[in-house]
Structure 1
């Protein structure tokens, strides 16, 4: 059983949704937290709710669309805590637009936030994990990283890229006792659909009906913790939609028929 007490955990996208729920779960287990997202006021709200003392907490706001200073951000954490035991790459946003109507600039931005930021932060953290002879990378992907879907072209592409990079990285870094868990949530009740970008670059600003009664972010966070404790390399979290991953693998023709009948929302 992994003991999370006093482990130093850096969570991106910690101001809401799965990131916020993970902050609460890790806090309950005695971890020391670094909370990152764009909105400092929301990070402070989450920090207050964790009830952690200032000694065990750090608010580190930044925008995932610009991670050129990843090494500087990491150095700030090392200066305070001396180590980073767990990096949770969670921040990002989704998409609700057809490829033909979406500008290449929006495609690039989706890739920058949902893929390159994860790679950039990971590369900044890895030397410290190597030096301390261990660490854990938590990569929040999606079932959209396992198969494509309507209105998710670049979002799905970014999630697919995460699997290629971090499956490969796992093999390269396990000799340093660095573990990698890729998490593939399905439909989770968060603001992901509200915050999804449209073809114009504006927010979708609607909760998808399929997310209204979906699994809670709190339950998702608990299952992620369980996945870490069981040393899993990849886990799927959600409802019936998770079955599509297995159907695609074992019954590709059936999958092709079923996926075309799904509501994009």
Structure 2
């Protein structure tokens, strides 16, 4: 990754911040985007211990106008993006019956359309260079449904479908596409998840509190990118749910039906 230009979204905390520091250790030239500029600056300071170049841009990636503006700024400075990591996202902790369609749309706008639109604006440069790597950070609930995460799971299923299709379309353009599906990673995502009222959940899920460290997750993601993995699961024993869903659907249904979602 030395001297590669790597653009990471959702880089102010969690997996995104850990990825930024890990890429910096590899000698990458970084572009970091998130809504919170002050937090981004804090991540940049850590990254500059390992790399000479780390630009930060504040943007709300649920807004098309913000995406267009940040792409314009980045392209004024960089003609080529070697690796685009679509990591920005938000989770949910609410029952579908209690959740307004506005919250469903908000999650889809950030988790799905934000990633897709940014990819579409960066892709022409990659095609022109016949080189690049696009990374989509999904979730294991992009592989199966799960209580209290209906819109979040839907957005990640959509990510899976879009980027699998894109990978096939780019098969002969020397552009790689990696879909990363994390399980329980020790980040603030459950605290920042939206409730049915559209406010932050404010609580750490017990399973997530004991999950994989974000730095370890970032190292596994970079390893997968280097190896040009197409689809990679990252996490602990919770990843077994993916295989249970696929090969033992009756057991999967029994397990999720027991989860207290009231």
TM-score normalized with structure 2 length? 0.96
Deviations 1:82-118 (A, max 9, x none): 2100110001110000011111111111110110001
Partners of 2:137 and 2:88 in 1: CA distance: 8
Q: Which residue of 1 aligns with 2:199?
A: 202
Q: Which residue of 2 aligns with 1:170?
A: 167
Instruction: Note the C-alpha offset of 1:53.
Output: 8.5
Instruction: Note the C-alpha offset of 1:264.
Output: 5.6
Q: Which residue of 2 aligns with 1:97?
A: 94
Do the aligned partners of residues 264 and 134 (structure 1) sit closer, same or farther apart at CA in structure 2, a change above 3 Å counting?
farther
Partners of 2:235 and 2:51 in 1: CA distance: 34
Do the aligned partners of residues 263 and 10 (structure 1) sit closer, same or farther apart at CA in structure 2, a change above 3 Å counting?
farther
Partners of 1:217 and 1:54 in 2: CA distance: 20
Instruction: Note the C-alpha offset of 1:139.
Output: 0.4
Partners of 2:258 and 2:23 in 1: CA distance: 39
Q: Which residue of 2 aligns with 1:187?
A: 184
Instruction: Note the C-alpha offset of 1:231.
Output: 1.1
Partners of 2:231 and 2:213 in 1: CA distance: 20
Contact 1:77-1:84 within 8 A present in 2 as well: no
Matches within 5 A, 1:204-223: 204-223=201-220
Do the aligned partners of residues 138 and 40 (structure 1) sit closer, same or farther apart at CA in structure 2, a change above 3 Å counting?
same
Contact 1:13-1:19 within 8 A present in 2 as well: yes
* Gap runs ≥5 in structure 2: none
Matches within 5 A, 1:249-264: 249-262=246-259
Contact 2:25-2:50 within 8 A present in 1 as well: no
TM-score normalized with structure 1 length? 0.95
Number of residue pairs matched by the alignment: 262
* Gap runs ≥5 in structure 1: none
Matches within 5 A, 1:47-66: 47-51=44-48, 56-66=53-63
Matched, 1:19 2:16: yes
Q: Which residue of 2 aligns with 1:130?
A: 127
